[in-house]
Amino acid sequence: MPVRRCPKHGYFDGEACDCGREGVGILDDDRRLRISKFLSGVLRHFPDDAGVTLDRNGWGRTVRSSKP
């Protein structure tokens, strides 16, 4: 599902916000899938290679990865 942004309610996935507005396209299906797979790989398999530090329980600090 594409990620879109409603000017009143913020980000949502799908074709329309709950308020019925179409919103502005942010990520198409293909790009969303590629980003998801990359982040899953970083967190599960190669955090050190990506510069991510995880504690012994697999948790890391939350940082903003991009600007809105």
Q: What is the pLDDT of residue 64?
A: 66
AA identity, residue 14: G
Residue 62 — very low, low, confident or very high, per pLDDT cuts 50/70/90?
Answer: confident
> How many CA atoms does the CB half-sphere of 36 hold within 13 Å?
10
In this prediction, residues 26-34 reach a mean pLDDT of 94
Higher pLDDT, 64 or 36: 36
The beta-carbon contacts of 40-47 under 8 Å, at least 24 apart in sequence, are none
Tokens of 47: 């955090």
The sign of the torsion formed by the CA atoms of 12, 15, 21, 23 equals positive
